[in-house]
Structure 1
Amino acid sequence: MTETAAANPELLADQVASLLVQPLEAASVVLASGPQIFDTAGVMRVPKLVSGSTPTFVGEGGLIPDTADVDFDELTLMPTERKSIKTILKYTNELVRQSVIGIDAVMKARLVKDVSDALDTALLTGDGADDSITGIINQDDVQTDIWDPTDPDTLMDAIGLAVAAEVMPNRWFINGADFVKLRKVKETTGSKKYVLESDLTKDATYRLLGIPVTVTNKLEEGTAILADVSQVAIARDIAPSVKVLTERYAEYDQIGLRVVTRYDLGLLHPEGVIVLGLEQGS
């Protein structure tokens, strides 16, 4: 039996995964950077260890101190009021019939780009207003410092802040214009070696002081992030939906694709994220 849009207005879970979820993970610069992603249908609480015990040296037969107190906190993600990213993509039946290439592939690419653009903007710079996502640069208790893409010392200072917080940063997020400025910086005066090096073994991957660089214009020029992305926790609703709307636009001979997907972000160890800006300081 041939499956039709009219008979299956709600795409199946595996169809949604191949159409939206999996491509989105690859297209989103934040999701692709290696954060911890938790699938959840509702409010999720992630425990965080705030403080632990201090082991001491004890001689043979000596009394082992039992005064240690472990203190836990928790990170709350995906509160019930967290809003979803939603969009409707319309196309005509003529386009379907006259397209010389697979319209499904084109629509899939358009759909993924639109959603990933909105999602990355929220995950990186969202202000949390109106029950939306609070992005990385606006999370509480992150470290901040001065950012000058032409001065390697400011880059080392950012790494120093991470080291002082006993975290190992593994990702730079840098604006495109700042990236170009960085490309021109040499290690020393008269040197022909650039500070920003390409990794020939990993396609067009760039490394800055040994740390991979992700270029994104979702960050404004003059703003950058240095992070241990394993400390970034992202909650993803386990039930994203893609619905084919066959009747709503019937009088225009159009079909719609309605997409609903829901994410949230928090930091397990905020000191593991350093937000750099032209006028910021720690």
Structure 2
Amino acid sequence: MANSSTLKTFLGTTEAGPLIIKPLERDSLALNVSTPIYTEAGTFRFPRITSDPSAAWTAENAEITVSEAAGDEVVVIPRKLAGLAVISNELAADTSPAAQDVIGRGLSRDIARKIDAAFFGTKPANTTLQPGGLEYLAAAVTAIAADPAAGLDAYIDALAAAEDFGVSLSAFVVNPATASALAKLKTGTGSSLPLFGTGATNGIERNILGVPLLVSPSVVAGTAWGIPKDRVFSVIRNDVSVVVDKSAYFSTDQTGVRAVLRAAFGFVQPEAIIKIKAAA
């Protein structure tokens, strides 16, 4: 293995984290709708209270009933996620900031897609290889049986359901087909005005009662998620690594740049996550 001394000038170990993490935080919707946690530990634990101590109306001079809180913990083990970018050696010899940007964006986009797919996509076959996301929670979430593309009533019900658990939804996330159907809703029969409203500069305003409506192609078709950001966490190991190798692509005069990070998701109150999906 031979490292390019030219690449090292702008892709040293001190730059590995920012080169991947900063674009990832921008590009990954999963990291934007959850609370990112960075750790040096191989296992991260979220302690939580499952039931509070109780109070009771008590007569004067009477003994106060003793009660205790109950708790448990959510254990999160970050799993390995790797991305690979291949660049020409001519580009590798360019030490301008543009070269660093090209490499960083290519790697971070691929990693962001994989993180979003794990967070919103179908249940993984092997959770020791890929972390379980929202679909992995199954019956643990609160389900609302409705077509998410049919109208806004189900989203209003989702906001009320979250409030029953004492939380506020910070975002709804749907796939592009559902977002398109919602954008075509009109203010009334015979009207051509979109229900979401339009702005002079920002087009259709995607929000439902003030809650942003976000779009990801990773969301399973026919599903919408209501997510409380303070109850959902993305745990990322700090030991992001970037390795530069010229040997694998020697015959094509190219250089491979590999980025590896470890990430997983922690859902400390899954019942406060609302899933809108039509009944099977």
In structure 1, the residue matched to 2:73 is 74
**8 A contact 1:38–1:233 mirrored in 2:** no
- Deviation for aligned residue 1:75: 0.2
- 2:101 aligns with one of 94, 105, 124: 105
For structure 2, the residue ranges without an aligned partner over 5 or more in a row are none
Contact kept, 8 Å, 2:6 with 2:95, in 1: the verdict is no
> What is aligned with 1:124?
120
| 1:152-193 deviation line (CA, Å, top 9, x unaligned) | 222222223222333211110011111111112134435666
Residue by residue over 1:25-62, the C-alpha shift from the partner in whole angstroms, topping out at 9 and shown as x without a partner, is: 11101112242524243112111110011222345544
Following superposition, the deviation at residue 256 of structure 1 comes to 0.7
Contact 2:11 2:100 in 1 (8 A): no
Farther off after superposition, 106-115 or 123-132: 123-132
In the alignment, which residue of structure 2 is the partner of 1:137? Answer: 135
TM-score (structure 1 length as normaliser): 0.84
How is 1:4-153 mapped onto 2 (pairs within 5 angstroms)? 4-5=5-6, 11-13=12-14, 15-58=15-58, 60-66=60-66, 68-78=67-77, 83-96=79-92, 102-130=98-126, 131=128, 132-140=130-138, 141-145=140-144, 146-153=146-153
SS of 1:112's partner is helix
Matched, 1:170 2:166: no
TM-score (norm 2): 0.85
Matches within 5 A, 1:112-261: 112-130=108-126, 131=128, 132-140=130-138, 141-145=140-144, 146-190=146-190, 194-197=194-197, 206-261=206-261
**2:46 match: secondary structure:** strand
Query: Distance between the aligned counterparts of 2:155 and 2:114, measured in 1?
Result: 28
Distance, in Å, in 2 between the alignment partners of 1:90 and 1:123 is 26
SS in 2 for 1:49: strand
What displacement does 1:19 show?
Answer: 0.9
Cα offset for 1:241? Answer: 0.7
Q: Is the 8 A contact 2:54 2:68 kept in 1?
A: no
After superposition, the CA RMSD in angstroms is: 3.1
Structure 2: distance between partners of 1:204 and 1:42: 43
Q: What is the rounded CA distance, in whole Å, between the counterparts of 2:40 and 2:204 in structure 1?
A: 34
Aligned to 1:102, the other structure's residue is in SS state: helix
Conserved? CA contact 1:36–1:231, under 8 Å:
no
Counterpart AA for 2:79: K
Q: Percent identity?
A: 23
CA distance in 1 between partners of 2:68 and 2:94 (Å):
70
- The one-letter amino acid paired with 1:163 is E
